[in-house]
Amino acid sequence: DAGITQSPRHKVTETGTPVTLRCHQTENHRYMYWYRQDPGHGLRLIHYSYGVKDTDKGEVSDGYSVSRSKTEDFLLTLESATSSQTSVYFCATSLQGDALYEQYFGPGTRLTVT
Amino acid sequence: GESVGLHLPTLSVQEGDNSIINCAYSNSASDYFIWYKQESGKGPQFIIDIRSNMDKRQGQRVTVLLNKTVKHLSLQIAATQPGDSAVYFCAEKGGSWGKFQFGAGTQVVVTP
């Protein structure tokens, strides 16, 4: 998994509670991403980061925020979890560079909101 | 582990046969494509990529074909092995940097 870890790997939480997922990489990759994966859907981009403290929204960013204070860590926060946010969340990283678009994925976090 | 494989089309392949997995993409301006493999309980793993200025690219036991006229991408796996059982999906990059669109995937089941 190219030195990408996610924590926790599993989480059950109640509606309305805040949740933070962590992605940690040891590859010194500049770019980091958060995706969600749901049955019948492809991976959908939530937020991404192109450097420390530089982040931008993806296609399904509502209800999520991110922070990146260090190159190696990218945090995803569900401000007030809802049942529609039950999903598997994947972090990914990629190198900077015109030819280097390949994204390396972490093992995922299964989040259940009850 | 983490996996999402419900409600996906399934391709059953006998061990030793060749597999062909298809993907229709949506954006005629997409300039870069990737095939990923996702095993049960794991994150997606890069298999092979191709740029829009090519129509074929080969890797180890895998070949990707790109037909821009009909916006179609295929992945061919030669001599399919049990370890090839997984969900395979394509990704296309179009528009602004780094934003891929991912297909839902195809479940490949290799039978002995």
B33-53, pLDDT tens digit by residue?
999 999 998 999 999 999 999
Residue with tokens 């392949």: B13
The residue count for chain B:
112
Q: Which residues of A touch B (CB under 8 A)?
A: 1, 4, 9, 31, 33, 35, 37-45, 48, 50, 58-59, 88, 90, 92, 94, 101-110
What's the average model confidence in pLDDT over B19-40?
A: 92
Q: Which residues of B touch A33 (CB under 8 A)?
A: 98
Reported as a pLDDT band with limits 50, 70 and 90, residue B7 is: low
* Nearest neighbour of A105 by CB, restricted to B32, B43, B98: B43
* Nearest neighbour of A42 by CB, restricted to B3, B99, B101: B101
What's the average model confidence in pLDDT over B3-24?
A: 84
Check: CB of residue A35 under 8 Å from CB of residue A92. Answer: yes
Q: Which residues of B touch A50 (CB under 8 A)?
A: 98
Could you tell me the CA-to-CA distances from A41 to A44, A53, B58 in Å, in that order? 8, 30, 28
* Nearest neighbour of B99 by CB, restricted to A45, A90, A102: A45
**Which SS3 state, helix, strand or coil, does residue B98 take?**
coil
Check: CB of residue B49 under 8 Å from CB of residue B34. Answer: yes
Checking if the pLDDT of B94 tops 90, the result is no
Higher-confidence residue of B65 and A31: namely B65
DSSP string, chain A: -TTEEEE-SEEEE-TT--EEEEEEESS--SEEEEEEE-TTS--EEEEEEEETTEEEE-TT-TTEEEEEEETTEEEEEESS--GGG-EEEEEEEE--STT----EE---EEEEE-
Report the gap between the CA of B80 and the closest CA in chain A (Å). 23
